[in-house]
Structures are given as C-alpha cells and as structure tokens.
Copies of this chain bind each other. A is one copy, B any other.
Amino acid sequence: MVDVGGKPRTERVAVATARLRMKPATVRRIVAGKVEKGDVLAAAQLAGVMAAKHTPDLVPLCHPIALSAVEVEVWTRRAGVDVRTEVRTVDRTGVEMEALTAAAAAALTVYDMCKSVDRGMVLESLQLEHKAGGRSGTWSRRARPSGRKKRKAPA
C-alpha cells in the first residue's frame, strides 16, 4: 500500500456507473414489486452504500479512508438496471475504488434478487465516469457514442 502520508488531505470525489442487462420481463417484475425477495432497487441502493465501506477489505491495496459521502442511485431501463454512485472524502487518496465497488455491489444485489427468474443477466459495463481532487487532478470519461448516452439518472 503506497505511502500517501506526504499528500495533503484534500476534497475528492469519484463517480462510477454500472449497467446490468436483463430481460424486459425481469425489469417489469422489478418495477411491479413482484420479485419474491423484496424491493430490488431499495436493497441494491443500500447494498451499494454499505459496500463502499467494505472496499479496503476487498481490494488489497486500497487505503482505509474516512468517506464523507456515499450516494447510490439505482433505476430501471427497458431491458436493464443502471447504477450511478458518487463517493466523496477529504483525505490523502482518492475514492475511485469505493465508487466502483459500490456500483458493483448494487448490481450484484440486483442479480441476486432476480437470478431465480433470469440467470442470464449480464453486467455489461462497470466504469469510472469522473474523478476530481488530489495530485492527479480531474478526469472525466469522454463522451460515449450516442446509443449509450442515456446513462444519466432520470430527473
């Protein structure tokens, strides 16, 4: 675990997204609240928040850091579920891994709750969208081709 002791504590943010593809019928079941295991979107949202706190247990070289905010949004599309996470800290290292871990856990929770009716679901993207703060400064993923542009959370 590289030494970050010499870095100043600065405000940092990271945004990640995950996109889970599933059968439209599975989405309809989620929306209708007919998944036997419970409210899928609520569970995924909470699982994402809690997973952000577990990041240093999962990613060996991640520093344990004090997270100042974790926000997880989960919503349905016609044939899938999208996740957007935003994690903030005021610390010596970034929170990209926390944002990605939260997004992964939220998507895995959706998978878990729906797998009995749709085992073929695929997490077809999990990626960092944006980070700011720290020595390496701001980074944002370049615009994606139009077909995938809709990955914004609904207003």
Chain A 25-50, CB within 8 Å of chain B: the 1/0 string? 00000000000111100110111011
Q: Are A108 and B5 neighbours in the complex by a CB distance under 8 Å?
A: no
> Of B42, B63, B97, B113, which one neighbours A61 at CB under 8 angstroms?
B113
Q: Are B109 and A69 neighbours in the complex by a CB distance under 8 Å?
A: no
> Of B5, B36, B58, B108, which one neighbours A89 at CB under 8 angstroms?
B5
Q: How far, in whole Å, are A46 and B41 apart by their CA atoms in the complex?
A: 12
List chain B residues, Cβ under 8 A from A83.
Answer: none
Asked if A24 is at the interface (CB within 8 A of a chain B CB), the reply is no
Q: Are A125 and B124 neighbours in the complex by a CB distance under 8 Å?
A: yes
Q: Are A61 and B49 neighbours in the complex by a CB distance under 8 Å?
A: yes
Known A-B contacts A46-B43, A122-B125, A136-B116; the reply to A4 vs B61 at CB < 8 A is: no
Asked if A147 is at the interface (CB within 8 A of a chain B CB), the reply is no
Complex A-B: 5 CB contacts under 8 Å = A2-B36, A5-B88, A53-B64, A63-B67, A65-B66
Where the two chains meet, the residues of A that have a C-beta atom closer than 8 Å to any C-beta of B are: 1-5, 11, 36-39, 42-43, 45-47, 49-54, 56-71, 88-92, 96-97, 100-101, 104-105, 107-109, 111-113, 115-116, 119-128, 131, 136, 139, 141
